Amino acid sequence: MTAPIRVLLVDDQELIRVGFRLVLDAEADIDVVGEAGDGEAAVDAVRRTRPDVVLMDVRMPRTDGIAATARIVAEMPTTRVLVLTTFDLDEYAFGALDAGASGFLLKDARRDELTAAVRAIHRGDAVLSPRVTRELISRASRLAPADSASRLVASLTERERDVFLAMGRGLTNAEIAASLFLGESTVKTHVGRILAKLGARDRVHAVILAHRSGLVGPADPLP
């Protein structure tokens, strides 16, 4: 039997933590292993509990979610961080994504959206709305030279380019497997190799590189 996904809840509002815990504890494949009320406590809790996924608020006292995310990702790279925010295109949340978070979720997300996001992050998929993805790409275009991204992409095999293109369009591993007639485990292997070859920190970074390289253009739909 597969071990449940270990989740740590981080928010300075106790009622929000209670609400998330009630939702997640009702799922057979998810286990809430701890809670924290600020970023400093979150880092300590991650060291103790070794969660698979951290639901991280960004606006908190003492140490905020941005600094906490950077420390968690640096110390425990196998732990994935899902940013929680009250509204879309939050500058704090973008800071957390820059710090290494793997996704972005609104606090008023529906129950099914929350559980799906936790499972997606654990699988290695990114959780970003098309609007947030486009904003990240726009910001990256002002910072990263396109020619350097193109040189990195040139190192990929033909199959890796196919998978990379699908990643850039926002497809999950399961969706990539279905569209390319591959096993999901094979896709996961390709994704790992692509991230290594590109020197991409995570899937979010890879999506940005796909657009910066020109492999995926602004007209390509995001799901």
Is there a single domain that holds both residue 109 and residue 145?
Answer: no
Is there a single domain that holds both residue 53 and residue 13?
Answer: yes
Is there a single domain that holds both residue 191 and residue 143?
Answer: yes
pLDDT of residue 86: 81
Q: Looking at the predicted structure, is the pLDDT value of residue 204 above 60? A: yes
| DSSP calls for 53-119 | EEEEESS-SSS-HHHHHHHHHHH-TTSEEEEEESSTT-HHHHHHHHTT--EEEETT--HHHHHHHHH
Alpha-carbon distances of 213 from 145, 147, 164, 205, rounded to whole Å = 9, 7, 11, 12
Q: How many structural domains comprise the chain?
A: 2
Which of 127, 150, 183 is the last residue before a domain boundary? 127
Is there a single domain that holds both residue 141 and residue 100?
Answer: no
Per-residue model confidence as pLDDT tens digits over 122-179? 988 888 776 776 677 666 655 555 556 677 778 899 999 999 988 888 788 889 999 9
pLDDT of residue 85: 84
Which of 127, 159, 180 is the last residue before a domain boundary? 127
Which of 127, 159, 183 is the last residue before a domain boundary? 127
61 vs 219: which has the higher pLDDT: 61
Whether the Cβ atoms of residue 162 and residue 190 lie closer than 8 Å to each other = no
Q: Looking at the predicted structure, is the pLDDT value of residue 222 above 50? A: no
Per-residue model confidence as pLDDT tens digits over 89-106? 677 778 888 888 888 888
pLDDT of residue 109: 85
pLDDT of residue 218: 54
pLDDT of residue 208: 77
Regarding pTM above 0.85, the answer is no
Residues belonging to the chain: 223
Which of 70-74, 79-83, 115-119, 168-172 has the least mean pLDDT? Answer: 168-172
pLDDT of residue 12: 92
